[in-house]
Structure 1
Amino acid sequence: MLPRLSRALVLLLVVVLTTAGLTGTAAAKPKDPRTTQGLFVDPLMPAANQDAVYARSIGRTPQALWIIPEAYPTGQVARVVRAYTSRAVKAKKTPMLTIYGIPDRDCGMYSSGGLPGAKQYKQWIKQIGRGLKAQRALVVLEPDAIPFYGDSRCQNAGGRLGLLRYASRLLSKVGAWVYLDAGHSDWRPYDNRAALLKKAGIAYDRGFSTNVSNFRSTADEKAYAGELLRGLRKLGVKGRHFVIDTSRNGNPNPVNGDVINPTWARLGAKPRLVFQGPFDGTLWVKHPGESDGYANGGPASGQWCDLLADRLLGRAESGSC
């Protein structure tokens, strides 16, 4: 039998060790649910409400909700974003959104539009941030805005990087994983694109996205992302990640220059978050079956078209939209 004093010391030691163990457990950083819970399949997405063949093959796959000011203006956008992300949270899945409203969006091409100026854009982004707060979403920020920077077709490029920086900082601050769009591997030249990403605030973001609404192979996009990561590291921006849009890159031999509803395109690999080094995974950012614009039989940009979905699925074309 231990002396009385020794027993007291033993009990004290047990209490100290137990308390230390509990403290260590409590202090451990919880794992972000985005790394485990999978992506949200929204039953309200357009493809999910088409004929059965499209609902099964496209509509049951996670896709990003596109937030554009023409559909969701400043007075409504916070409520729309919150409703969507809340559906995802309730389903214990990760919501995905694409923010697409920067002034002079798409520089006068098929998806032209956006907010009229910097003040209106910042107000809109602020409301999006309200809807995203603490919702643990993935956000693709302004497809094509950086690759178009300096293009002669753009009328309002002067303050673009500052607006992207504002959005990057605000949306990341409310808890979103923001992927600042970096175009794709065939959008050249891109020698200074890493510097543009830095100026646009990628240091605030999770990383960048590539191949949004385009058709380049996943292998080419990974190589392109590697170049950007090396360029960012040289500029002192380390630890960034990237995602690739694979919604329409299933044909390994894309035809250069034919990118508006191309007849040769096919569905690509389904979305999957893998977290392999800097590669976070694949997403379907562009909605398969929705038009790029008035070319190759397509309707207005963003409109659903059975014919376009048939092409992507390798089916006989329905003959109309």
Structure 2
Amino acid sequence: MSLHRTESPLSLRLLASSALTLTTALFAACGTAPTPSVDGPEGVTASSLTELVVNGTFSSTTTAPWWSGPNTASRVDTGRLRVDVAGGTVNPWDALIGQDGITLVNGQAYTLAFTASATASTAVRATVQLGSAPYTAPLDQHITLDGTPRRFSFPFTSSLSTSGGQVTFQLGGRASAVTVFLDDISLSTGSSTGSGPLGMTSGFYVDPNSNPAAWVRANSGDSRAARIQSAIASRPGARWFGNWSGDIASAVSSFVAAADAADKLPVLVAYNIPGRDCGSHSGGGAGSPEAYRTWITAFASGLGSRPAIVIIEPDAVAQLDCLPSDTERQTRLGLLRYATERLRDLAPNTWAYLDGGNARWIAADTMAQRLESAGVRNVRGFALNVSNFYTTAESASYGSAVNTALNNRYGYTRAFVVDTSRNGNGSNGEWCNPGGRKLGTPSQVGGGAELLLWVKVPGDSDGQCGIAPGTPAGQFSPDLAIRLIDGT
């Protein structure tokens, strides 16, 4: 569907939604895997950056070369761009501001970043796009602003070459008037560990209260303790949050605050979807859709503006087949979309990844359709191999196939991460505490995916099965840990 409006003397541009082409930015380091490090991305060299936006800091009284379209009036106010937006508009593009003359190069990595707030809660669409038909948009992001100034950063890769690009902020679609404030607007070439939450931290966070770490402290005299400390407890990994976490906003806030104080990047897993794990070993979850919406909103609020990585609901998309009716499947997809929207809107410095199963579970084309329905376009990307054992290479091949399907069907791709916590020996076809598995590459940038992460905590049981028939899901077993260390 093409979108039409009257052309103004400022040669304002309008995005044609049928021409959306969203692409995923990978770090500059992703082409070559850095040496694995327990601290994460140290040693990954940031690429040289070139600023493309003019007058993004509004240090003078002029707003030029930023232009204002219909239903907007702009001026510099205390070192910020103040945009007064009229009410009574229907579409985002009915009230917009922008800057023309942006040069884009096909295949080049860029990052759009800005600080923004508003006098009332309001939806905003930020784009980097072609300034003429067909208005292709390599970057198209929807955010929600409120009275708290927040920093947003969106890496992307251009899908076109042009000297006629533009940056726009589309502010319409409100019944009432609102004032939006923008500052420190930047569009820079290059995408590296200086982008997003990785650029705000000095490495991945080692959870001092993980199950392996707690076991080591309580069993310092055990002959296995030193090896578990060295190989597992001292390595960065995820903390899982669910219905056992108590006050979820407080639990999340405390965890990310500790990581922030250490200048490290925490990895969190949101694991509380109703009907979790199809009632199997890790069954449970929120008691109702309403309870889940309240829970995930509090989860996202606990993150705030601090940097974080979040994995959204392992298995929830892949396990749609276990739900008994289409109504329940649609309810779950709606809850996952809600989760992606809450994380997008309330946690601007979080990169969230919606779980996408593993390489041998759901066909890539089907998974792409499910991820689209579950809201993957609202977040950074998708996660693969969580709590499983498939090799990084096989997972990366599957991730590429999912992205091919996303691009063919919907015109965009997404970054993906791979859980490498237990994939050192690959899969033997079993998923529940199989023997002969081994620790994989520690958390790092690149290495076959955007990030390799220890999402599953090595040594935590999958359930009362396999080589740990007496160990409930989520409980730490030193015997499991040692066997992962040794690959036996």
Paired position in structure 1 for 2:142: none
**3-state SS of paired residue (1:242):** strand
Report how far residue 156 of structure 1 moved. Answer: 4.5
Query: Residue 387 of structure 2 contacts residue 455 of structure 2 at CA under 8 Å; is this kept in 1?
Result: yes
1:106 aligned partner: 277
* Identical-residue share of aligned pairs (%): 35
Residue 383 (structure 2) pairs with residue 209 (structure 1): yes
Say how many residue pairs are matched.
Answer: 291
| Offset of residue 39 of structure 1 | 0.8
Alignment partner, residue 289 of structure 1: 459
Q: 2:478 maps to what in 1?
A: 306
Cα drift, residue 206 of structure 1: 0.1
**CA deviations over 1:80-133 (Å, ceiling 9, x no partner):** 100000011111111110000000000021111101110000000111011011
Contact 2:439 2:487 in 1 (8 A): no
SS at the partner of 1:28? strand
Contact preservation (8 Å) 1:214, 1:249: yes
The verdict on how the C-alpha distance between 1:205 and 1:33 changes in structure 2, with shifts beyond 3 A counting, is: closer
The one of 407, 411, 419 aligned to 1:245 = 419
Residue 32 (structure 1) aligned to one of 173, 181, 196: 196
1:23–1:274 Cα change, 3 Å: farther
How far apart are 1:234 and its partner, in Å?
Answer: 1.8
Q: Deviations over 1:268-288 (max 9, x none)?
A: 111102397xx3110000000
Q: Contact 1:47–1:289 (CA<8 Å) still a contact in 2?
A: yes
Contact kept, 8 Å, 2:458 with 2:484, in 1: the verdict is: yes
Task: Please state whether the residue corresponding to 2:320 is helix, strand or coil.
Answer: coil
User: SS of the residue aligned with 1:87?
Assistant: helix
Verify: 1:125 aligned to 2:296, yes or no.
Answer: yes
What SS is found at the alignment partner of 2:329?
coil
- What does the per-residue CA deviation read over 1:224-281, in whole Å, with 9 as the maximum and x for residues that have no partner? 00011111112325241000000000004x211x2111111110111102397xx311
Report which of the two has the higher share of strand.
Answer: 2
Change (3 A) 1:21 1:291: closer
Alignment partner, residue 136 of structure 1: 307
How far, CA to CA, are the matches of 2:407 and 2:381 in structure 1?
A: 12
Contact 1:198 1:237 in 2 (8 A): no
For residue 464 of structure 2, what is the amino acid of its counterpart?
Y
Match of 1:6 in 2: none
Which letter does structure 2 place at the counterpart of 1:34?
A: L
Query: Per the alignment, do residues 275 and 23 of structure 1 end up closer, same or farther by CA in structure 2, a change over 3 Å counting?
Result: farther
For residues 50-129 of structure 1, the aligned pairs below 5 Å read: 50=216, 51-69=225-243, 71-73=244-246, 76-129=247-300
C-alpha change, 1:53 and 1:238, in structure 2 (3 Å) is same
**TM-score of the superposed pair, with normalisation by structure 1:** 0.84
1:225 aligned to which of 399, 403, 425 = 399
Q: Distance in 2 between matches of 1:289 and 1:21?
A: 49
8 Å contact kept, 2:404–2:413: no
Deviation at 1:31, TM superposition (A): 4.0
Give the partner amino acid of 2:428. Answer: V
Which amino acid is 1:213 matched to?
S
Corresponding residue number in structure 1 for 2:158: none
Corresponding residue SS for 2:362: coil
Task: Look up the equivalent residue of 2:439 and give its one-letter code.
Answer: L
The aligned residue for residue 150 of structure 1 is 321
Change in Cα spacing, 1:236 to 1:21, as seen in structure 2 (3 Å) is: closer
Distance 1:202 1:20 in 2: 33
Amino acid across the alignment from 1:163: L
Pairwise mapping of residues 269-280 of structure 1 onto structure 2 (< 5 A)? 269-274=441-446, 279-280=449-450
Q: Structure 1 residues 237 and 90 mapped into 2: Cα distance closer, same or farther (>3 Å)?
A: farther
Amino acid at match of 1:28: S
Write the letter of the residue equivalent to 2:205: F
**Secondary structure, aligned partner of 1:289:** coil
Q: Aligned to 1:184, what secondary structure does the other structure show?
A: coil
Contact in 1 for aligned 2:417/2:452 (Cα 8 Å): yes
Tell me, in whole angstroms, the C-alpha distance in 1 between the residues paired with 2:387 and 2:56. Answer: 50
Selected match of 2:368 from 179, 186, 194? 194
CA shift, 1:314, in A, is: 1.0
**Structure 1 CA distance, aligned partners of 2:207 and 2:417?**
20
Contact 1:193–1:228 at 8 Å: present in 2 too?
Answer: yes
Moved over 4 A (4+): 19-24, 152-156
Residues 81 and 128 of structure 1 are in contact (CA less than 8 Å); yes or no, is this contact kept in structure 2?
yes
Letter in 2 for 1:284: W
Q: Are positions 1:262 and 2:426 aligned together?
A: no
